[in-house]
Chains A and B, each alone.
Chain A
Amino acid sequence: MAGRAIVITSGKGGVGKTTTTANLGTGLALLGRKVVLIDADIGLRNLDVVMGLENRIVYDLVQVVEGQCKPHAALIRDKRVENLHLLPAAQTREKDAIRPEQMVELVETLKEDFDYILIDSPAGIEHGFRNAISGADSAIIVTTPEVSAVRDADRIIGLVESHGLHDPYLIVNRIRPEMVQRGDMLSIDDVLDILRIKLLGIVPDDQEIVVSTNRGEPVVFDRRTRSGQAYHNICRRIEGEDVPFMTMDTGFMQRLGRLLGIGGRRRNAN
């Protein structure tokens, strides 16, 4: 098996890398793929709690690269869906506890047994970020439609490309269609116009994400939620399917209006 290693990164912190990694990993496993998630945010591990697997950690990433255990011994198997595994970050170590070559080697080993290796990158452009991207074949850049996040995304795109990860993909997270409609939020078009990379998906700002994170159950398990549907669509695109982008209609009245065939101007956010 020759798996694909994809790093999820952003530059600016808190824009949704970990949430994205958890949901894409779970979503791809739900589509029947063998997936392993690597939390590369050493010292600030979070993917374990977002996935709801925090109580089952035995070994971590640093112990694996230091040879204290075999990679497979450190993987936590998700019991809710088949073929989904997590390699947690070390919580009490420094970011420079591993080197890029070690990441490359680890990812190569995991590629033999998994279809997808998703790497959750820490924020920033320093050591941890470099480790996270070094084993990857391609990159997904996450941004929110805000000036600071888009600016940092631009910087990160330059950096991942200079590291040989060409044509990174973009996910615009936390879009609020009603704000876009009244002109108070950058639209998907605006963001694409500025960053000029390929769009992989649009995820709405959704309270369900908070709820699902509280529970440790990625929202993609529930496809009735808008964000869950969005992540599901992204997974299908990663699998090569041509899935149209979600229309970002807002408000109940608008939806109702369209159902009844009145008013309901279709607004496409992409």
Chain B
Amino acid sequence: MLGYFNKLFRREPSSRTAKERLHLVLVHDRANLSPQILEALKEDLIEVISKYMEFDVDSIQVNLDSDESTVALVANIPIREVKRQLRHANS
């Protein structure tokens, strides 16, 4: 009987909670990139983005940002100018 009530009020099977928590903690663990890798990523980003806009290379910040439920790659790239040909291509 007690078991029945426990089941009734249980939020979800504990294995599902375990799996969700594991997923999350592993995103954090795996995202624990070394500074070298983060630097390499930054350089690649610069290469790609500079095709489209101009920016101050020194002010770029690339970080991993995490809260309770997600981990995000956050790149802060202050734009100086969007390249002229792109602006025109769209208007």
Contacts and interface: CB of A to CB of B under 8 A. Distances in A.
Say whether A and B bind each other: yes
Interface of A: 146-147, 150-151, 154-155, 158, 180, 182-187, 190, 193-194
B88 interface: no
A47 to B, nearest CB: 30
B16 interface: yes
Contacts of A194: 19, 22-23, 26
The 10 closest A-B pairs by CB, nearest first: A183-B13, A190-B19, A184-B14, A183-B15, A147-B18, A186-B15, A186-B18, A154-B26, A194-B22, A147-B22
B23 to A, nearest CB: 7
Contacts of A158: 30
Nearest to A155: B29
B27 to A, nearest CB: 11
A151 B22 contact: yes
B15 A150 contact: no
A254 B16 CA distance: 25
Interface of B: 13-16, 18-19, 21-23, 25-26, 29-30
Nearest to A179: B15
Contacts of A182: 13
A150 B14 contact: no
Which residue of A147, A183, A185, A193 has the most chain B CB atoms within 10 A of its CB atom? Answer: A183
A154 B28 CA distance: 12
A147 B29 CA distance: 13
Nearest to A180: B15
23 contacts: A147-B18, A147-B21, A147-B22, A147-B25, A151-B22, A151-B25, A151-B26, A151-B29, A180-B15, A182-B13, A183-B13, A183-B15, A183-B16, A184-B14, A185-B15, A186-B15, A186-B19, A186-B22, A187-B15, A190-B18, A194-B22, A194-B23, A194-B26
A186 B22 CA distance: 10
A197 to B, nearest CB: 13
Contacts of B16: 183
B21 A184 contact: no
Contacts of B21: 147
Contacts of A150: 22
Nearest to B14: A184
B15 A184 contact: yes
A199 B19 CA distance: 18
Contacts of A185: 15
Contacts of A184: 13-15
Contact of A154 (B13, B15, B18, B30): B30
Nearest to A195: B26
Nearest to A187: B15
A265 to B, nearest CB: 17
